[in-house]
Structure 1
Amino acid sequence: MAKAEEDAFLNGNGTGKPTGIFDATHGEHLLNTLSAGIKSDDMLDLVYGLKRPYRKGASFIMNDGTLAQLRKLKDNNGAYIWQPSYQAGEPDHVLGYEVHTSAYAPKDAISFGDYKYYNIGDRGSRSFKQLNELFVGNGMIGYVAKERVDGKLILPEAVQIMKLKGAE
């Protein structure tokens, strides 16, 4: 259930599922779309394209494949913009901001913003039902789990997205 929620909170279209952060219609604010590969200057544009009040609590969300590209970027002095954490429990950083990865984040986008403006509504409790009859012939037991949950970015200007062209 956690994996389905993570996917919906990132990519949902609002029809029968939460509206995801990466939803083009009701999600984030699209900052720009790159025509070529990502550069360190593009990351600076993404950070400073976000309004100042939202940068204080901002962090990145991206796919692991995108992060692999990002880790290779250097600034004009030849220093990597990626800063690995040397303390347990501390996240890695890019340009001084936390980086969170998800297998469900699109490979062609990087999100940067203050995600406290993404509201999640959890309605009621989860229910589980055991299905003995359907699977008994095979010596198995099946389960059905249900929950009601919704999510939406309440303030789209609090999150910026940079689209990457040619990402696989």
Structure 2
Amino acid sequence: MNSKTAGAVRKLKDGDGRFLWSDGLAAGEPARLMGYRVLIAEDMPDIASGADAIAFGDFGAGYTVAERPDLRILRDPFSAKPHVLFYATKRVGGDVSDFAAIKLLRFAIA
């Protein structure tokens, strides 16, 4: 979720009037939502009707990062001496591998 969605979720309470969100008590400890760690990702959409604003699950089991072992290095032949420029490229990608491990929460705002 992004920070705007987190601001809205911070106000939610359970049936007994307790907040669902709790801030980290120790330095460097992440905030928690119903006991689960929260990561703020500004790339997620804002909370709105029909928007998948929160992703929840075990991302270690549900998302796979594919990394090629080779690293390509190219020396720039046009750089001015004594300075030499190098360009390095590496192929990395990823995709959801287990859709059951990650779920998206869609809100209906009235």
TM-score using structure 2 length: 0.72
SS in 1 for 2:26: coil
User: In the TM superposition, what whole-angstrom CA distance separates every residue of 1:111-142 from its partner, at most 9, and x where no partner exists?
Assistant: 110111211011135556676969x9xxxxx9
Structure 2 residue identity aligned to 1:152: D
**Structure 2 unaligned regions, length at least 5:** none
The aligned residue for residue 120 of structure 1 is 65
1:73/1:122 CA distance change after superposition, 3 Å: same
Could you tell me which residue of structure 2 aligns to residue 100 of structure 1? 39
How much is the aligned-residue C-alpha RMSD, in angstroms? 2.7
Instruction: Provide the rounded CA distance (Å) in 2 between the counterparts of 1:106 and 1:132.
Output: 44
The alpha-carbon deviation at position 97 of structure 1 amounts to: 0.5
Aligned amino acid, residue 115 of structure 1: F
How far off its partner does 1:69 sit? Answer: 0.6
Equivalent pairs: percent with the same residue? 30
Q: Decide whether aligned partners of structure 1 residues 105 and 126 sit closer, same or farther in structure 2, where only a CA change above 3 A counts.
A: farther
CA distance in 2, matches of 1:97, 1:66: 16
- State the Cα distance separating 1:94 from its structure 2 match: 0.6
TM-score by length of 1: 0.50
By percentage of residues, which structure has more helix? 1
Residues 1:69 and 2:8 aligned together: yes
Higher relative contact order (CA 8 A, sep 6+): 1
- Aligned pair partner of 1:110 in 47, 54, 62: 54
Q: Which has the higher Rg, Structure 1 or Structure 2?
A: 2
Q: Distance in 1 between matches of 2:38 and 2:44?
A: 12
Shift in CA distance, 126/99, structure 1 to aligned 2, threshold 3 Å = farther
| Corresponding residue for residue 22 of structure 2 | 83
Deviations 1:53-74 (A, max 9, x none): xxxxxxxxx1111101101112
Amino acid at match of 1:119: T
Partner AA of 1:122 in structure 2: E
Aligned mates of 1:157, 1:90 — CA distance in 2: 27
Aligned length: 100
Paired with 1:102 and 1:132, the residues of 2 have a C-alpha distance of: 40
State how 1:53-64 maps to structure 2 within 5 Å.
62-64=1-3
